Structure 1
């Protein structure tokens, strides 16, 4: 009997797929919350997809404990009914997982796509996904009436629609999934291929964007097994449908999350000395705010203000401004202050840390004053300010 049990193979796939998708989702949330500091609608949708996939995996695992993957004649009537009941739950959670995953990927692409035609293509794929997933969800949920008759045909009376309808709908759903997967994978790759960037970076992005094709590969492999959805030996014959459905969900979530992990890869590369420091709002290790010390003089036509030069602060944010006795406006930061002088032509000079840099600026201005180019100005002495 051990050789006639496909349940352990399905159990292993369920656990491995859930773990991989969970890790990818956690990394995505970390990047969006801690590094990029921008948790958008696409992230919420992917988080919802992960929750739905966790419910799917739990339902599949419980079904294995009752008999999924075994022949009907090897099971008691009670275990057969319970296994089919959890399979029915897998129908519903599978539909929700794929719907939320595809919508998340679609909204993510809309955030980085500006071409009108490309955006129309993405919207079209999202509409097709919604229609196909909702149709599959409701037909799967109400293919028998009462609903319980799907798994309990021994103690209840009821009726089910023709199994050919469910099989035909499954084929249609698979075709829509393949089209949307290839569109979401190849459209960004085509866009990146026309960008002006380094060949290595371009190749890495194309490979990353093309990971969605692997989910389509799982769908293609599953197609020959879907004819068994109407089998009398249901739990045995549909095991491979369950295996490749689990694989499809895992690959879709993982591919959608990996596309957002570039900031994390750059940060790790910097830590290992393989890349330059990433420009991220939350990146602060080994990087201190600049402080302004020494003497400076400023042209009368300059607008005098300061900005915090810190990776932890957003230069565009409106923060309360303090003004010292000299009239030099200081914008509070996290620990120290820095100054940037702006002229009326939108160019700027940044006062870098260290007396050598300050002295250079002061010497250049002083020379212009000595040559008569600038009138003599009083010297503004500034000091390091701490919160």
Structure 2
């Protein structure tokens, strides 16, 4: 007979650290490509770095929550531990909306940078404006759901010196946020297919770019549908939120990873060139390899940067003065740089209250404490 696992703490830690670690590597590689290889670190890259810091903050809250009861059953912890778990969950759900929003902004800015047709740019702007406005409102509701904020978890220990919004209010806001989130996901997932259709690249590359840019958005939609209903019907709260915590971290991490993958092609080409250079150790072979490497590097930069034919292409010329004072023919740079003129434009537990409680969850007056109302993110 299959029995329920005693806890999910190890599962939370392993998956959280794995995906957040991959996200850190992806952002680091993106920064290397944009600062060292292309020397074109943009606003979308800076926002990706900010979103990584928010993701790491969420991971820290999760680790602290695991030490305080995340993934454990109610009847295995004391009231003090239970309240600490609720505190870290409160912080985790508050930081979730801005994390997802900033990741989406990073993806949207990248799409705007490579988009050609105004209709695509306007579609991205409009969908993101709607999403960001509602996300800001939802974030404000989460911050103000209890006054003071510590009353969010202290009320279940018998505190009466505060006030909280009705759980149904937060639940309604959460469903609304889910709707606009899905709309933004669909927009960021569909627009790339239209953008790459206009690029002067091969069909295989178009498909790869579209799938890469849409990956994060698709995952965001699927994970939200998977857990939003389950949290409405739980009476073992800190154990039940384990899946929500995992999916929230995975959603943010995968979205961030997907936004970085589209920028890493120059790094892959550079690595291949380095491998060929290492293999070609003889003089003649080495010369031919370096010549081919330079030609491929030219194509590499053109592929990454020349996605906006309407933007200016700036080159530079080097003039060599010989020893007799005469000028040699100019040497034109093989690498052109794209001026991205548009890069700076974008600068409580379930609403269902459980009737069940365990022997250790009692309020200060001796009555059984209600299981907190879940606020779906």
Asked whether the two chains share a fold, i.e. TM above 0.5, the reply is yes
Return the alpha-carbon distance in structure 2 between the equivalents of residues 98 and 161 of structure 1. 24
Who is 1:171 aligned against? 175
Q: Deviations over 1:115-147 (max 9, x none)?
A: 111111111122122112212211112211221
Who is 1:248 aligned against? 251
Q: Is the 8 A contact 1:25 1:257 kept in 2?
A: yes
Change (3 A) 1:315 1:115: closer
Change (3 A) 1:232 1:149: farther
Return the alpha-carbon distance in structure 2 between the equivalents of residues 271 and 186 of structure 1. 36
Structure 1 residue 155: deviation in Å?
A: 5.0
Aligned to 1:66, the other structure's residue is in SS state: coil
Who is 1:227 aligned against? 232
Structure 1 residue 272: deviation in Å?
A: 4.6
Q: Is the 8 A contact 1:91 1:141 kept in 2?
A: no
Structure-2-length-normalised TM-score: 0.72
Change (3 A) 1:2 1:224: closer
Q: Is the 8 A contact 1:36 1:280 kept in 2?
A: no
1:185-200 pair list within 5 angstroms: 185-200=189-204
Structure 1 stretches of 5 or more lacking a match?
283-313, 330-337, 342-347, 351-387
Structure 1 residue 93: deviation in Å?
A: 1.9
- What is the total number of aligned residue pairs between the two structures? 301
Q: Larger Rg: 1 or 2?
A: 1
Q: Which of 193, 216, 221 lines up with 2:221 in the alignment?
A: 216
Return the alpha-carbon distance in structure 1 between the equivalents of residues 94 and 326 of structure 2. 63
Who is 2:26 aligned against? 24
Return the alpha-carbon distance in structure 2 between the equivalents of residues 248 and 239 of structure 1. 14
Q: Cα RMSD over matched residues?
A: 3.0
Who is 1:83 aligned against? 85
Who is 2:94 aligned against? 92
Who is 1:266 aligned against? 269
Structure 1 residue 73: deviation in Å?
A: 3.0
Change (3 A) 1:325 1:8: closer
Return the alpha-carbon distance in structure 2 between the equivalents of residues 18 and 186 of structure 1. 26
Structure 2 stretches of 5 or more lacking a match?
277-291, 302-313, 335-377
Q: Is the 8 A contact 1:189 1:206 kept in 2?
A: yes
1:7-46 pair list within 5 angstroms: 7-46=9-48
Who is 1:162 aligned against? 166
Return the alpha-carbon distance in structure 1 between the equivalents of residues 189 and 273 of structure 2. 28
Looking at both structures, which has the greater relative contact order when contacts are Cα pairs under 8 Å and sequence separation is at least 6? 2
Structure 1 stretch displaced more, 44-53 or 241-250:
241-250
Q: Deviations over 1:185-205 (max 9, x none)?
A: 221122213444323222222
Q: Is the 8 A contact 1:167 1:227 kept in 2?
A: no
Return the alpha-carbon distance in structure 2 between the equivalents of residues 32 and 195 of structure 1. 21
Who is 1:278 aligned against? 297
User: Which one has the bigger helix percentage?
Assistant: 2
Change (3 A) 1:54 1:280: farther
Structure 1 residue 326: deviation in Å?
A: 5.5
Q: Which of 116, 121, 142 lines up with 2:144 in the alignment?
A: 142
1:107-126 pair list within 5 angstroms: 107-126=109-128
Q: Is the 8 A contact 2:120 2:195 kept in 1?
A: no
Q: Is the 8 A contact 1:18 1:250 kept in 2?
A: yes
Q: Which of 207, 211, 225 lines up with 1:203 in the alignment?
A: 207
Aligned to 2:55, the other structure's residue is in SS state: helix
Q: Is 1:340 aligned with 2:359?
A: no
Q: Is the 8 A contact 1:186 1:209 kept in 2?
A: no
Structure-1-length-normalised TM-score: 0.70
